[in-house]
Structure 1
Amino acid sequence: MLSVRRAAALDARDIAELLNEVIAIGGTTAMTDAVGPVDVQAWMQSDPRAIWHVAEDDAGQILGVQWIDPHPEHGGSVGQISTFARSGKTGLGIGSKLFEATKQAARMAGYAWINAEIRADNAGGLIYYQSRGFEDWGRIDGYVMRNGQTVTKQLKRYDL
């Protein structure tokens, strides 16, 4: 059975492991450098309005993570969302359950809308956000990732 809960500092090691799996595979995230538990803890504590959730199985293995924090350019009423599922575990309802928890928490925290930036070549990510009700609102062409690769990002928004 899959359960979703707020992430805590003690989850940082397992979240970093999940993120590093996705980063190593490549092709779906703009993240290119491995992260450690200290990095994750710093992100979790970077803003008091940051909201982190994890999805885990009965054994306590983290299968997905999702977070929002205030968008750096659009102000505190806009949450910037990130979603990651463990490789090979997509299609199990992880993203759906994570978003239901995040959406409710975002409303309670006073966010007006949620922004998602998805690599245009990430078909799974585009489908995921579209199926949650996110709508296209813009693009970032020529986004240069830390490894020098240039991608296009599709911007999607979800009004709360």
Structure 2
Amino acid sequence: MSTVIDTVEVRDVRAEDAAELAELLNAIIAQGGTTALEVPFTPERLADSYLTGPAVLCCFVALNPASQEILGFQTLGRYPDLPDDVGDIGTFARIGNTQSGVGSALFRATRERALALGLTAINATIRADNAGGLAFYSRQGFRDHSVAKAVPLSDGTPVDRISKRYSLMTGRNG
């Protein structure tokens, strides 16, 4: 699948994207403060965990249509603590490309694929100190579902994790 949505091209991830996506995600991890992920990824580990591995339901990349530079990616997968009909989402935009429509374009594609897969809901778990991430998922129609209190980062710092749900049955979880 390859479609142009707004001014961003969205397509399914490809195996050859793994190295570029690992660089993109590792830059976000190194910057800190927006992802619960703390250990850098090799392209192989990223592919298995979030791009094409057995627990991945779908993964899309957003590209600049003119340059074909990858601007971000969104993955939807199975998570052991969730029901089988609920996918777990993660969205990652290249540093400097937040608030540019990348995440919204990716979510339109992910939502359509989740519906085609027969899912009833999508879960997003966001660090409580990630105001941008919380706002992004709220804008997409996700609603607060639960809070895991004081989950420690690798340095021991406790940070709540807020789980939000998007109902595919109603378009929102109210």
TM-score, with structure 1 as normaliser: 0.95
Q: Where does structure 2 lack aligned partners over 5 or more consecutive residues?
A: 1-6, 169-174
Between the aligned partners of 1:130 and 1:8, the Cα distance in structure 2 is 29
Q: 1:30 aligns with which of 10, 30, 36?
A: 36
Offset, 1:35: 0.6
Between the aligned partners of 2:55 and 2:129, the Cα distance in structure 1 is 32
Q: Give the AA of the match of 1:153.
A: R
Q: 1:118 aligns with which of 121, 126, 132?
A: 126
Give runs of ≥4 in structure 1 deviating > 6 Å: none
Between the aligned partners of 2:55 and 2:148, the Cα distance in structure 1 is 28
SS in 1 for 2:38: coil
Q: 2:86 aligns with which of 68, 78, 88?
A: 78
Offset, 1:77: 0.6
Offset, 1:45: 3.3
Tell me the matched-pair count.
160
Q: Give the AA of the match of 1:63.
A: L
2:17 corresponds in structure 1 to 11
User: Does the Cα contact within 8 Å between 1:66 and 1:82 map onto a contact in 2?
Assistant: yes
2:164 corresponds in structure 1 to 156
* 1:51 has 2:58 as partner: yes
Between the aligned partners of 1:149 and 1:128, the Cα distance in structure 2 is 24
Between the aligned partners of 1:147 and 1:36, the Cα distance in structure 2 is 22
* 1:104 has 2:115 as partner: no
Q: 1:92 to 1:116 in 2, by over 3 A?
A: same
2:139 corresponds in structure 1 to 131
Q: 1:45 to 1:7 in 2, by over 3 A?
A: closer
Question: Identity of paired residues, percent?
Answer: 41
Identify the structure with bigger relative contact order (alpha carbons < 8 Å, sequence gap 6+): 1
Q: 1:48 to 1:143 in 2, by over 3 A?
A: closer
Offset, 1:149: 2.9
SS in 2 for 1:32: coil
Q: 1:147 to 1:16 in 2, by over 3 A?
A: farther
Between the aligned partners of 2:85 and 2:98, the Cα distance in structure 1 is 30
| RMSD between aligned residues | 1.3
Between the aligned partners of 1:64 and 1:23, the Cα distance in structure 2 is 14
Between the aligned partners of 1:151 and 1:109, the Cα distance in structure 2 is 33
